[in-house]
Amino acid sequence: MKIEGVVFDWAGTIIDFGSLAPMGAFVSLFSRHGVPISIDQARVPMGLPKLDHIRALGAMPEIGQAWRAAHGGQDFTDRDAQTLLLEFEPMSAEAAWQNRAFIPGFLNTYDWLKSRGIRVATTTGYTRRIMTPVIEYARALGFTPDAVICCDDVLRSRPDPMGMFACCEAMGLKPGAHIIKVDDTAPGIEEGRNAGCYTIGVAASGNAMGWSLSEWENGDPSKRKEALAVAEQRLRTAGADLVLASVADLPQAIERMEQAQGQYESSGSAA
């Protein structure tokens, strides 16, 4: 089986090592409304469209309780979530811009995919408003995917496969195992699986681990190994068919997949 297309996530997968941008924005957002939340809490719903992420945070018992304490006993409502999203978008856009750098090795991976005739598209849990300047920056550096499908470009975003289907259409391909979804979050992996595609998780660079590039490069080797193992297991539990450290490892993984499939087909023919 030849891989014909790859659909990448953005934050934590091809930009923003550690998926740091959304976390600070979510913490600041709720703090503005008298509700302290932790980075760990903010990471739990990561990968969902940002409105759904805010809803999920408000539904957490500890955060819901803190919201009621800060708002005269009123529960966190969908109207509150909609209001917070309006505040969140400019905060998140700034954070995304500040963390727009590509994951080390990604542009080399992109060039390799193009050299093999493999089509490339992307989905993201960010809204179009947040992503527009980042898309333009990426394009200036040579990254021109067939599509960038933001969460508000489709009726139902992750884990629904609508975004994947839109990417497949843009790439001129039918969904299936010949297309790989690469993501660092459970909803993103589910998005790929729900489209019937092969899924690859990236552990070191993403939300599952949450380390900055500096922490990854300079951290204690034993702690790094331990944290990486935990992140890899989270992605496997989410259903990833394969887990890599980062997108820099994707070309070798595709070569192994195609080689193994070729050997299987040769063996089957011989039989």
Q: Catalytic residue positions?
A: 9, 50
CA pair distance 130, 211, nearest whole angstrom: 23
| Number of Cβ within a 10 Å radius of residue 43 | 17
**What b/e string do you get for 62-83 counting C-beta neighbours within 10 Å, with b at 16 or more?**
ebeebbeeeeeeeebeeebbee
Helix or strand run (H / E) with residue 198: strand 198-202
Instruction: Using only the alpha carbons of the chain, give its radius of gyration.
Output: 19
Query: How are the residues of the chain apportioned to helix, strand and coil, as percentages rounded to the nearest 5?
Result: 55, 10, 35
Helix or strand run (H / E) with residue 120: strand 119-123
Q: C-alpha distances in angstroms, 52 versus 44, 45, 55, 156, 181?
A: 12, 8, 5, 11, 21
237 CB contacts (<8 Å, ≥6 apart)? 186
CA pair distance 128, 147, nearest whole angstrom: 12
